[in-house]
Amino acid sequence: MIQGLIHYGLHFGLPLLVALIFYRPVWLKAYGIMLLGLFIDLDHLLATPIFDPNRCSINFHPLHTYWAIGVYVLLCIPKKTRWLGLGLCIHIIADISDCLLM
């Protein structure tokens, strides 16, 4: 239960915190775009079983591989893709927290 609170708290709370602190005038737009990072979980549909509470997503699902994470970090550099890159990196941080808490 605590693990789930931490995981989903990071998924939804950390982007909100980043948006409010660093992008205050446009926080809602920044937050919405960062939340788009949740869509990389669609790659879980390729796994059998789709959800396994004892499986670490990092480097297991295609959009959670180290190569993909490298791309997400690079997306943080250009201003046009920064919010999406931050959302994707925050998503990965949330998933890493799961792996560490297993």
The residue ranges of every structural domain in the chain are 2-101
Residue given tokens 């180290």 in the structure block: 66
Contacts of 56 (CB under 8 A, 6+ apart): 95, 98, 99, 102
Q: What is the mean pLDDT of residues 81-98?
A: 97
CA pair distance 38, 70, nearest whole angstrom: 17
**pLDDT digits over 55-87, tens only?**
999 999 999 999 999 999 999 999 999 999 999
- For the residues 10-18, what does the mean pLDDT come to? 97
pTM over 0.85? The answer is yes
pLDDT of res. 3: 86
Confidence of residue 2 (pLDDT cuts 50, 70, 90): confident
